[in-house]
Structure 1
Amino acid sequence: MTPHGEKPLIVQVVRQFLPNRGGLEDVVANLCHSLPERGFRVRVVTCDSLFSEPERGRLPHQETIDGIEIVRIPWRGSPRYPVAPAIFRHLRDADLVHVHAIDFFFDALSWGRFLHRRPMVATTHGGFFHTKSFSALKKTWFNTITRGSAQGYAEIIGCSEADMRTFEPIAGSRVRLIENGVDIAKFEDAASRVPTRRLVTIGRFSANKRLPLLIELTAALKARHPDWSLDIIGVPSDLTVDMLQAEARRQGVETAVTLHKGLTNPEIRTRLAEASLFVSASDYEGFGLVAVEAMSAGLLPVLNANAAFTDLAGRHTELSLSDFADISATADALEAAYARLETRGDALRADLMSAARAYGWNAVADRYCDVYRSVLGLAAAPRPALSFDATAPAR
C-alpha cells in the first residue's frame, strides 16, 4: 500500500498490452498516460508473450514503454482465458486494482480477494460475447461464474450501452457507463481529400470481424465498378494472412484486396490517405472505438448493424448501417455512401471529424479518476490544466 503522502498506485491488469496493438491495448495505454497528471501512479500487469506473435517468445519480465511501467507474467492455456496465477504476487503495493475484460483475471482476482485484500474495479470491454460460438455455454458461464465474480468489484464499468444492458442483470447498481475514450489525434484528418472507391478496415484478424464477408463484398463491388478496392489492416488472430489471401484468390480479387500486418500508426495514416470509406462487418463490438477513429480521420463509416454500432449510429446520422450478410444490399449502401461523398464530401468530412472530438480522452480519464477516488475514499481533486493533451498519440 502507498505510504502517507504518496500518490495512490493503480495497477491495471490486462491480458495483452504493448508492444501489442489493438483496441483494448490502446484504451489501457491512453488511460495510463492520463493518470499521472490526475494524481495517480500506474503500473500494468500483463501476460509475457503476444498471442498474435507466439514466435517472438517470452517478452521481458519488466519494461517501460512510452513511460508506462509494465510487468509481465507467465501464463498457460488459451489466449481467450489465459491462466496466470502469478498475478497475485504483483498486487502487494497496489492501492486499487483495475481489471480490463472478462477473463481469468476477472474471475481469479475476485475469488481471491480475501487473500490480496485490494479494492477492485473492472471494465467490461464487450465481455466474452464477441462471437456466437458456444453461446449456450457462454450464457451459462455468465449467469453463474461471472455473476459470482462480479460480486468482488466495487464498480463494474460498461464501456458501451450494450455492455450496460448485458451486465446490469448480474451487478445491478454497481454498473456504470464510461464509454471508451478514443485517441482522436493519431489518425485525425488522414483520409483522402477527394472521394475514392477504396475501402479500409482496421482490427484484429478475428472471426467476429467477418473479414471474408468484406472480401466477398469487394468482389461484388468490383463487378459494378472496377475501381473498388479494400485494405485490411491489423494483426493475425484466429484468421491468418494466408487464410485471407486464399479467400481473396477464391473470390477473384487478389489484386484488389491488400492485407497489412502490424503497421505502426504513421504507416496506417499513409494507408488511410488513399481511402474514403471505412467498413466493418463485425458481428460484435464492445464499443465501436475503431469506427470513431475512422470518423476522426474523415472516413465515412458503413457498419454492420450490431448493437454497439447501432447505438453509435443512433447518435451520429452520418454513419450508415447494413446487414453485411446481405452482400447485395451492403454493396448498395456503399455505392450510396460514395455518392454522398461526391455531393458533399468536404462538409461530411468536417461533420465526422467534429463528432469524433466528443470522444477524446480528457473527459473519459476524469470519469475513471472519479471512480478511483470514490472507491478509495479520496476527496475530489482539481482537473489537470487545459494544456495537458490526453488525446496526444503515444510516443
Structure 2
Amino acid sequence: MSGATSPGEDPVMTSPARPLSILHVVRQFLPNRGGLEDVVANLAREQARLGHRVRVVTLDRLFSKPEVRLPARERLEGIDIERIPFSGSHRYPLAPSVFRHLGDADLVHVHAVDFFFDALAWARPFHRRPMVATTHGGFFHTNAHSRLKALWFSGPTRVSVRAYEGIVACSESDARMFAPITPAGVTVIPNGVDLDKFAGAASAAPRRALLTIGRFSHNKRLDRLLSAMRALGPGWRLRIVGVPSDVTVAALTAEIDRLGLTDAVTLHVGLDVPAVRELIGQSSLFVSASEYEGFGLALIEALSAGLVPVAHPNDAFAWLKERHPLISLCDFADPASAAGAIRDAYARLAEGRLDPGAASLPGAEDLSEYRWPRVAARYVALYEAALAGTGVGTGLRPSTSR
C-alpha cells in the first residue's frame, strides 16, 4: 500500500491527510453481540476517535429475534446506525435499499461475504463508490451445502471481488482461501481486540474450570465440547457464554441433560462485559471445539485474560498457535483425546510446568498487534490508498502484508 505511510513507519502514529466519511455495511450489528459485531463496532469507534465520520448500515432485525423490528436510526455506544429491511433467508438476506444509504460516503467498507458483498459489487458501475471488504471467513463456517458454496465461491464471488479496491483477510488461512480468486492480492490485517476488557481477569489460583465464549452455532461444535466434558468426569466445570444462533438454548440444554452434565455445565446467555469478566475470574482454561473461525477473537481475549487455551486445530487457531505458544491444540472429534489435552494443560498450570519463557506464561503473551489503534490505522492507510487510485491491488500477497 502506498501513500499512507513511509517505509518502516508505524501507521498508528500517522494522522490522516483528511477526515473521511466511512460507511460500514454489515448484516448484523448492535445490539446483537458476536465476533463480527464486536469487530465492526470497535473499528467504527476507533475511526471516529481518529476524526473520521463513521456510519454503519445493517439489517433491521436480529437473526436471533426475527419478530422484533429495531429502530431505523439509532446511536448506540457512540456509533450512528442505519437499519434497513430485508427478506429471504438469514443465510443470504436480500436488502436492496442499501443503495439509498450510501449518502456522502467517501468509501464503503463491506464486512463478510453475503448479499451486501455481491450487490454492492455488481452495482459498482452505477454508485461508483470506492470499496474495500473484509472477508471474516467467507461463508465456509460449516460443511452444510458445501458443493453449492464451492460453486458460488468460484463463480459469483470470483466476479464480485474484482469490484473492490481491497480485499482484507483477518488471518493468513483466510487469505489463502481468497487468494486464488483475487488476482490483485489479499491483504492480511488481523482483527483488533479490546485487550483491556478482560485483562488479567482469570482466576489467580488454578481451577478445574473451563470457559468458552462465542455464538451458539453449528461450526462451534459445542456438542463435541460437551462430549469432552463427559470424558473428563467429575470435578470439572464448564461455562458456555454466548448468544443463540443456529443452535438454540433449548437444544443445548437438552444435550446437557442427555449427557448427564447438568451439575457440571452452565449456559450464560447475553451477558454484559462485567458479568463475563466475573465468570472468567472463576476459570483457568479457555476451550473451543470450533471447526471453523475467520480469526479467533475469543481466543485472543482469553489470552489477554490469562486463561490457558485448549482448542481444536482449525486453520485460524493453528495460525494463532504459531504466534502464541501457550495455546494447546487437540482434536475435539475424539472426546478422550480432548479430555487428555485439557487435563494436561491444567496439570502444567497447577504444577508450574509451563515454559518459564515470558511469551508462554498466562497473561504474558505479546498481543500488541491486535490493539485497535494499530488495526484502525492500518485500515485507514488502506482506505487512503484506495482513494488515491492506487488501491491495494498492487500485488500484495498474504506473506508480505502482515
TM-score with structure 1 length normalisation? 0.91
Q: Does the alignment pair 1:268 with 2:276? A: yes
> Structure 2: how far apart are the matches of 1:34 and 1:350?
30
Amino acid at match of 2:32: N
Q: Does the alignment pair 1:336 with 2:348? A: no
Aligned twin of 1:15: 27
Amino acid at match of 2:128: R
Aligned twin of 1:295: 303
* Among 47, 54, 78, the residue aligned to 1:35: 47
> Structure 1: how far apart are the matches of 2:380 and 2:352?
41
Alignment of 1:188-337 (within 5 A): 188-222=199-233, 226-337=234-345
Aligned twin of 2:397: none
Q: Does the alignment pair 1:361 with 2:375? A: no
Structure with larger RCO (C-alpha < 8 A, sep 6+)? 2
Give the C-alpha shift of residue 82 in structure 1. Answer: 1.1
Whether contact under 8 Å (2:324, 2:365) holds in the other structure is no
Give the C-alpha shift of residue 352 in structure 1. Answer: 3.6
> Structure 2: how far apart are the matches of 1:151 and 1:70?
28
Amino acid at match of 1:48: D
Amino acid at match of 2:340: D
* Among 24, 44, 65, the residue aligned to 2:56: 44
Whether contact under 8 Å (1:297, 1:353) holds in the other structure is no
> Structure 2: how far apart are the matches of 1:364 and 1:54?
33
Amino acid at match of 1:65: L
> Structure 2: how far apart are the matches of 1:378 and 1:360?
28
- 1:61-84 Cα deviation digits (max 9, x unpaired): 000011110000001111121110
> Structure 1: how far apart are the matches of 2:361 and 2:345?
16
> Structure 1: how far apart are the matches of 2:279 and 2:368?
22
Give the C-alpha shift of residue 354 in structure 1. Answer: 3.1
Give the C-alpha shift of residue 316 in structure 1. Answer: 1.3
> Structure 1: how far apart are the matches of 2:111 and 2:275?
28
> Structure 2: how far apart are the matches of 1:78 and 1:158?
25
> Structure 2: how far apart are the matches of 1:227 and 1:75?
47
Q: SS where residue 76 of structure 1 aligns?
A: coil
Give the C-alpha shift of residue 344 in structure 1. Answer: 2.4
Q: SS where residue 260 of structure 1 aligns?
A: strand
Whether contact under 8 Å (2:216, 2:242) holds in the other structure is yes
Aligned twin of 1:388: none
Q: SS where residue 93 of structure 2 aligns?
A: strand
- 1:11-48 Cα deviation digits (max 9, x unpaired): 00000111111100111011111112334210000000
Aligned twin of 2:190: 179
Q: SS where residue 151 of structure 1 aligns?
A: helix
Q: CA RMSD in A?
A: 1.7
Whether contact under 8 Å (1:189, 1:353) holds in the other structure is no
Alignment of 1:53-72 (within 5 A): 53-55=65-67, 57-72=68-83
Whether contact under 8 Å (1:217, 1:327) holds in the other structure is yes
Structure 1: gaps of 5 or more residues: 380-395
> Structure 1: how far apart are the matches of 2:18 and 2:150?
43
Q: SS where residue 352 of structure 2 aligns?
A: helix
Give the C-alpha shift of residue 366 in structure 1. Answer: 1.0
Aligned twin of 1:391: none
Amino acid at match of 1:97: V
Whether contact under 8 Å (2:200, 2:363) holds in the other structure is no
Q: SS where residue 77 of structure 1 aligns?
A: coil
Structure 2: gaps of 5 or more residues: 1-16, 391-402
Q: SS where residue 322 of structure 2 aligns?
A: helix
> Structure 1: how far apart are the matches of 2:160 and 2:307?
40
Aligned twin of 1:82: 93
Give the C-alpha shift of residue 52 in structure 1. Answer: 1.4
Whether contact under 8 Å (2:215, 2:242) holds in the other structure is yes
> Structure 1: how far apart are the matches of 2:141 and 2:299?
16
User: What percentage of residue pairs aligned between the two structures are identical?
Assistant: 56
Whether contact under 8 Å (1:318, 1:352) holds in the other structure is no
Paired residues, number:
371
- 1:273-312 Cα deviation digits (max 9, x unpaired): 1110000000000011110000011110000011000111
Whether contact under 8 Å (1:198, 1:274) holds in the other structure is yes
> Structure 2: how far apart are the matches of 1:138 and 1:103?
11
Whether contact under 8 Å (1:75, 1:83) holds in the other structure is yes
Amino acid at match of 1:278: F
> Structure 1: how far apart are the matches of 2:69 and 2:286?
35
Q: SS where residue 33 of structure 2 aligns?
A: coil
Amino acid at match of 1:210: R
Q: SS where residue 355 of structure 1 aligns?
A: coil
Task: Sort the Cα spacing of 1:39 and 1:363 in 2 relative to 1 into closer, same or farther, 3 A.
Answer: same
* Among 177, 180, 205, the residue aligned to 1:166: 177
